[in-house]
Amino acid sequence: MSDIIRLLPDNVANQIAAGEVIQRPASAVKELLENAIDAQATQIKLFLKDAGRTLVQVVDNGTGMSPTDARLAFERHATSKIRTTDDLFSLHTKGFRGEALASIAAIAQVELITSEEGQEIGTAITIEGNKIIDQYPIVTNKGTSIAVKNLFFNVPARRNFLKSDAVELRHVLDEFHRVVLAHPDIHFWLFHNDVEQFNLPPTSLRKRIVQVFGSRLNEQLVPVEEQTEVVNIQGFISKNSPKRNKSLQFFMVNHRFIKNRYLHHAVVSAFEGLLKEGEQPEYFLYLEIDPKHIDINIHPTKTEIKFDNDHTIYALLRSTVKHSLGQFQVLPTIDFSLDESQEVPYSYKDKEAKIPTYQVDRNFNPFKMEEKDVSSKRNNPPFSFASNRNAPQWEALYTGFPSKVNESLKEEVPLSSLIEVQTETKVQTILYFQKKYIITYLKDKVLFIHVSRAHQRILYERFYKSISQGGSISQSLLFPLEFEFSPVEILSLQSLTSSLNRAGFLLEIEQNKIRFTGLPPLVKESQVEEILRQLLEKAMEDIPQEELSQRESLAKNLAKSLAIKAGQSLSPEEQEQLVYDLFSCKETQVSPFGKKIYIEFPFNELENRF
């Protein structure tokens, strides 16, 4: 049998290594920014074109490289960070494997220009697919500029796996945020397609968070600080803005962003009792620990980490966060044990109480009731289920069902026969139970309808139709509404602009602000920000959506935001109109979120209970 094991060619081995380190443009951005920080740069500029597909360029004012170092930096496992294995447990730098530049050069066209301090002449190198095309001296400023062009140009299969520019840019911004939050003392710029997106001068940690994610967070941040012999903890947690995604959760260990479910659980457990099911806290936590107690050499991207005393760190982190929550009196925004029917609607907060008026009939004598009043009461007993309110509008709903009006109802009859007769007429509202359910009946069944879910179904079908057909009406605002969002959130909302316009929202986007000049008639001004927040949570989940599913998602979020909430009062006319609209929908049994809208209770089952 012939030998079948072969050594891989260098170009193939480099491309395989690149697949572990460089997965998309965001991976190249992370590695290049970290190299600039390791070079002790105080000013770093990031240039992007087409979300990094065409160009990723990082320019810094760091120490630069000599001609020999510049050429050697692109060799595999070439690094200035470590010499022995002991150095792996005393790391204070970002990179140390010596794989980043070699991996990038294997799958892109790279141009490097660098110069050391005090040198008049620098070095320029051009590389394609790990092959050095040219190297020549050049006059340049101190520092390094490295441009990565046409990522995956020689691996078309990998390039085809890249997502849309909007998705790839969001990944790039995620990596950019992690780096700039870890180093608030460095001046960062980001340009995309020659447009400045970020200009972040050196500042404090709190101000850096506000620079990146907007001023809305400033009042929500609660400081966290604790110093122990094991670990030093500092940072901020957000007290009043829980979300259902993890977009604002940052752990930094020795100024390096990491992902750690164990530590995340410590923070979540500290928030116990303050969050509803499914909500996530927002936090920016920085841990300083002796490098000999951690191992970051467990993943090529260095975002995972191991601690030799993780139980101690878990307990310290949990108690520190819990202490801050108590110290700054962070309490639940909602009393979950309170009946929602007791809540005062927000729209009534500025209204004054009105003194009730009354009228007295001075000629009224209860002992001299006219005969017609007595007969009237007999014909309309207090517990009668009969009601003809808005009767004509129901007839179209129940075509096909036998409809008989029994004239005997005009006479006093037993309650059991009354129910038997009335079940063959038409549906009427019997009761609005606990301001949450409508109890009504049809033929031989009693229906228990969940009001909020029924309204969600009605609104969903209306919004979905208007979004799909683009025929929604918009009501102009006398004074436009403005909201401020972070660049990442603006990017996500831009993809929803056309659908929002079709739904009746007239809006303009300028840098980090959104201005609304018109709203659908069903939407109140006070509801707009909450609607946007819910849309953002869905958009930030990074699930690719086609136009059809995007319309569906938007219609669902609008329906959920605007639907009637439990505890809201409804007049009898509104109750009947809700039932009428529900049974006019294409789907009547389940809400847009797959939950049951109503349950049926046959009369014969009721009889069996007695």
Residues 219-239 have a mean pLDDT of: 90
Q: Report which of residues 383 and 128 the model is more confident about.
A: 128
**How many CB atoms neighbour CB 266 within 10 A?**
22
pLDDT at position 411 over 50: no
- pLDDT for the residue 412: 44
Of the pLDDT bands very low, low, confident and very high (cuts 50, 70, 90), residue 82 is low
pLDDT at position 540 over 50: yes
- pLDDT for the residue 100: 79
Token duo for residue 479: 């004074």
Of the pLDDT bands very low, low, confident and very high (cuts 50, 70, 90), residue 331 is low
Of the pLDDT bands very low, low, confident and very high (cuts 50, 70, 90), residue 184 is very high
pLDDT tens for residues 306-319?
Answer: 788 888 999 999 99
Of the pLDDT bands very low, low, confident and very high (cuts 50, 70, 90), residue 206 is very high
- pLDDT for the residue 23: 84
- pLDDT for the residue 462: 87
Q: Report which of residues 497 and 460 the model is more confident about.
A: 460
Of the pLDDT bands very low, low, confident and very high (cuts 50, 70, 90), residue 453 is very high
pLDDT at position 512 over 70: yes
**Least confident stretch, 70-84, 162-176, 194-208:** 70-84
Element (H, E) at 100: helix 100-106
Residue range(s) of every CATH 3.30.1540.20 domain in the chain: 389-610
Q: Output the CATH code of domain 389-610.
A: 3.30.1540.20
Query: How far is the C-alpha of 474 from the C-alpha of 501, rounded, in Å?
Result: 9
In sequence order, the 6+-apart residues with CB closer than 8 A to the CB of 276 are 242, 334, 336
- pLDDT for the residue 278: 74
Query: Please, are residues 505 and 519 in contact by the beta-carbon 8 Å criterion?
Result: yes
Q: 3-state SS of 528-568?
A: HHHHHHHHHHHHCCCCCCCHHHHHHHHHHHHHHHHCCCCCC
pLDDT at position 263 over 50: yes
Residue range(s) of every CATH 3.30.230.10 domain in the chain: 209-327
Look at domain 209-327 and name its CATH class: alpha beta
pLDDT at position 305 over 50: yes
pLDDT at position 332 over 60: no
CA distances from 600 to 105, 228, 362, 440 (A): 67, 62, 50, 10
pLDDT tens for residues 10-40?
Answer: 666 666 655 567 888 999 999 899 889 988 9
Of the pLDDT bands very low, low, confident and very high (cuts 50, 70, 90), residue 335 is very low
pLDDT tens for residues 415-451?
Answer: 334 333 333 444 455 788 888 888 887 777 888 899 9
Query: Please, are residues 539 and 495 in contact by the beta-carbon 8 Å criterion?
Result: yes
**Least confident stretch, 75-84, 120-129, 323-332, 366-375:** 366-375
Residues 139-152 have a mean pLDDT of: 92
Of the pLDDT bands very low, low, confident and very high (cuts 50, 70, 90), residue 75 is confident
Residue range(s) of every CATH 3.30.565.10 domain in the chain: 10-202
| Nearest partner of 557 among 492, 488, 478, 476, judged by Cα | 492
Residues 471-483 have a mean pLDDT of: 82
One CATH from 3.90.1170.50, 3.30.70.1170, 3.30.565.10, 3.40.50.620 for 10-202: 3.30.565.10
**How many CB atoms neighbour CB 604 within 10 A?**
8
Q: What is the mean pLDDT of the chain?
A: 78
Q: Report which of residues 56 and 82 the model is more confident about.
A: 56
pLDDT at position 85 over 90: no
Q: Report which of residues 13 and 119 the model is more confident about.
A: 119
